């Protein structure tokens, strides 16, 4: 990975200086110098009227009006390695059971696997126990049928030991063009064990049908730890009776499956034999994660890849907005386009649900909202949806809820949209061209371009600030904020981009954005950005549609 050298930068400073020094502009002309139709009616920039609502107080630095150079990269600090975030706990759904938890090492795993393998007696499990431990033995059994009671709610699921085998469901194809699968048929009838899993929808139903009290979820439920004279009912009082409960029992040869068939007795093989035949759901999930990780890293396990879970303040915000709401934001923690919308939602204090998705996997839930499979995507109501960050921000403005980000004056609104277009057409592409450039001369060229385009935006801003239109965070500020954050967290370590010059108008703007509460609440720790943008800094093939567009010279998707 190449970075810009100081010597090469020094040779280009003379040619840079005319572009980096902002030219003085009369205050009433600053917002209209690029709009000839508005020249006849100049409007002095002032903070737009805000509809006040309760919101937290945020500290900002006292603004000092000093025009100074927009910085260019001059140094290349060493990049420090960061640990990769732990993968988010996954959930698996069988055809019969939903919400099974894929946890690699739950407590007492070996004991539970042996217990669920042998099933010597009827086993009663809480919903949490079943969801946690059954995925670790689902390789032992193969589902055969599900029966629902005609008048009761409980459901019975029948499973055979997988080593019993069964005939193929379809005849072998005779089509010579069809690709043949390399499979070796196992010998059948190696085991006769059948089990019945009964699903009860609450503790009262369990007691009514079995006469058994729900198992306690703490040590007091075990006889050896219970206080003398304490009954099982008393021990189980801490259990949530509204959750599901499951019973598992062996039914081969005892008539428990309603047929009286099969041979009584335990398995004719060991748990290790079942593990050799097929891996359980948790093992398959871990192997798939490892394959996906290697694929994303280009086969090199030392390379970092993008995070799938927010960290720091952003993680807290995501958790606080995880419950179901009418307004749903589908996003990814590392994406700056998502952060734009996220900041808007936080600033407006709208009730919303944040849903973290992996846009590279394009899950169906995301495709349903955005057929292109890109984030951010917004669902409002049961069926209506939209996407593209600027479009979503405009839609949130049209809802007229919370403090507006666009001013009321039509001409100032148009001016804001003009500079939003400048951010999206000039600044954002320059950011990615600099980050993805591998040649040092190209890096210097793109650093000049980015500095010039940022300088134009600074010249157009209100001279007092600290934000674009004055004292309040606005639409233009939210549009540029994610890249302001990434100048420090991404371009500084990877391309030597320096901090803004003390006392400059740009410095005051950056400080105000970084101190804004809505920005801080949607920003993760530095390590997430370092890891997630390493792919861009090395310009790995297939990094993203944005990276591909930059490499090909096309507009961003």
Report pLDDT digits (tens) over 370-387.
999 999 999 999 999 999
Within 10 Å of residue 182's Cβ, how many Cβ atoms? 5
Q: Are 166 and 186 in contact (CB under 8 A)?
A: no
Q: Are 405 and 474 in contact (CB under 8 A)?
A: yes
Tokens 């101190």, residue located:
515
Taking the C-alpha atoms of residue 119 and residue 271, their distance in angstroms, rounded to an integer, is 12
Helix (H, G, I), strand (E, B) or coil at 96: coil
Domain residue limits, the chain: 90-164+189-201+244-286, 312-398
Tokens 């193929």, residue located:
168
Instruction: List 384's β-bridge partners, or say none.
Output: 380
Tokens at 119, concatenated: 């099933």
Taking the C-alpha atoms of residue 147 and residue 196, their distance in angstroms, rounded to an integer, is 10
Q: Are 4 and 495 in contact (CB under 8 A)?
A: yes
∠ Cα 197 137 214 (to 5°): 45
Whole-number pLDDT of residue 444:
95
Contacts of 149 (CB under 8 A, 6+ apart): 155, 156
Whole-number pLDDT of residue 336:
98
Task: Look up the pTM and report it.
Answer: 0.56
Q: Please list the helix, strand and coil fractions of the chain in percent, rounded to the nearest 5, in that order.
A: 40, 10, 50
| DSSP state, residue 236 | G
487: nearest Cα among 68, 69, 12, 72: 72
Question: Can you say how many angstroms the Cα of residue 476 is from the centroid of all Cα atoms in its chain?
Answer: 25
Whole-number pLDDT of residue 506:
98
Phi, psi torsion values for 320, nearest 5 degrees: -65, -20
Helix ranges, 423-540 (H): 428-436, 440-460, 475-486, 492-495, 505-515, 517-521, 526-532, 534-537
Share of the chain above pLDDT 90, in %: 56
Tokens 């099933």, residue located:
119
Taking the C-alpha atoms of residue 321 and residue 364, their distance in angstroms, rounded to an integer, is 21
Tokens at 211, concatenated: 């006469």
Phi, psi torsion values for 531, nearest 5 degrees: -70, -45
∠ Cα 504 508 511 (to 5°): 135
296, exposed or middle or buried, with CB in 10 Å at 0-12, 13-18, 19+? middle
pLDDT tens column, 74-116: 333 333 333 333 344 566 666 678 778 889 889 999 999 999 9
Tokens at 191, concatenated: 């085991």
Phi, psi torsion values for 517, nearest 5 degrees: -60, -45
Counted residue by residue, the chain has a size of 557
What's the CATH superfamily of 312-398? Glutaredoxin (3.40.30.10)
Q: Are 427 and 457 in contact (CB under 8 A)?
A: yes
State which residues of the chain have pLDDT below 50: 5-7, 9-88, 217-237, 257, 260
Taking the C-alpha atoms of residue 311 and residue 193, their distance in angstroms, rounded to an integer, is 47
Instruction: List 200's β-bridge partners, or say none.
Output: 245
Side-chain half-sphere of 466: how many Cα atoms within 13 Å?
19
Whole-number pLDDT of residue 369:
96
């Amino acid at each position: 990975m190449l970075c810009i050298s100081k010597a090469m930068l020094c040779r280009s400073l003379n040619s840079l200086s005319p572009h980096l020094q902002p030219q003085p502009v009369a205050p009433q002309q600053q917002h209209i110098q690029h709009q000839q139709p508005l020249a006849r009616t100049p409007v002095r920039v002032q903070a737009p009227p805000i509809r006040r609502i309760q919101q937290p107080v945020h500290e900002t630095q006292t603004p000092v009006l000093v025009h100074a150079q927009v910085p260019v990269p001059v140094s290349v600090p060493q990049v420090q390695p960061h640990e990769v975030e732990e993968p988010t706990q996954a959930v698996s759904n069988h055809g019969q059971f939903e919400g099974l938890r894929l946890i690699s090492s739950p407590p007492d795993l070996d004991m539970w696997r042996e217990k669920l393998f042998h099933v010597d007696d009827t086993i009663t499990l809480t919903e949490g126990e079943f969801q946690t431990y059954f995925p670790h033995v689902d390789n032992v059994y193969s589902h055969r049928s599900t029966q629902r009671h005609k008048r009761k709610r409980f459901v019975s699921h029948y499973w055979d030991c997988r080593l019993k085998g069964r005939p193929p469901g379809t005849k072998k194809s005779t089509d010579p063009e069809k690709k043949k699968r390399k499979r070796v048929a196992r010998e059948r009838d190696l085991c006769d064990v059948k089990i019945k899993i009964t699903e009860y929808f609450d503790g009262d139903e369990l007691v009514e049908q079995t006469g058994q009290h729900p198992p306690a979820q703490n040590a007091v439920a075990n006889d050896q730890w219970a206080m003398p004279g304490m009954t099982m009912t008393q021990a189980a009082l801490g259990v949530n009776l509204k959750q599901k409960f499951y019973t598992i029992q062996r039914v081969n040869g005892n008539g428990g499956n309603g047929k009286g068939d099969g041979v009584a007795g335990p398995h004719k093989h060991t748990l290790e034999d079942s593990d050799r035949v097929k891996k359980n759901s948790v093992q398959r999930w871990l192997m798939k994660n490892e394959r996906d990780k290697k694929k994303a890293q280009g086969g090199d396990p030392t390379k970092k890849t993008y995070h799938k879970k927010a960290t720091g303040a952003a993680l807290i915000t995501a958790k606080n907005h995880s419950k179901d709401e009418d307004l749903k934001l589908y996003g990814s923690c590392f994406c700056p386009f998502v952060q734009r919308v996220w900041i808007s939602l936080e600033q407006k204090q709208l009730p919303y649900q944040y849903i973290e998705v992996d846009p590279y996997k394009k899950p169906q839930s995301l495709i349903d909202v955005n057929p292109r499979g890109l984030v951010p995507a917004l669902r409002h109501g049961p069926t209506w949806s939209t996407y593209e960050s600027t479009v979503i921000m405009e839609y949130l403005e049209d809802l007229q809820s919370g403090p507006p980000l666009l001013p009321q004056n039509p001409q100032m609104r148009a001016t804001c949209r003009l500079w939003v277009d400048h951010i999206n057409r000039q600044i954002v592409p320059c950011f990615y061209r600099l980050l993805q450039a591998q040649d040092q001369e190209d890096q210097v060229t793109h650093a000049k371009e980015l500095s010039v385009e940022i300088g134009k935006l600074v010249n157009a801003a209100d001279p007092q600030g600290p934000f674009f239109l004055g004292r309040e965070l606005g639409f233009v500020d939210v549009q540029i904020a994610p890249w302001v954050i990434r100048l420090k967290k991404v371009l500084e370590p990877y391309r030597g981009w320096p901090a803004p010059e003390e006392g400059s108008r740009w410095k005051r703007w950056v400080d105000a954005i970084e101190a804004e509460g809505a920005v801080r609440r949607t920003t993760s720790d530095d390590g997430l950005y370092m890891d997630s943008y390493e792919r861009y800094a090395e310009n790995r093939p297939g990094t993203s549609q944005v990276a591909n567009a930059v490499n090909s010279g096309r507009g961003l998707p």
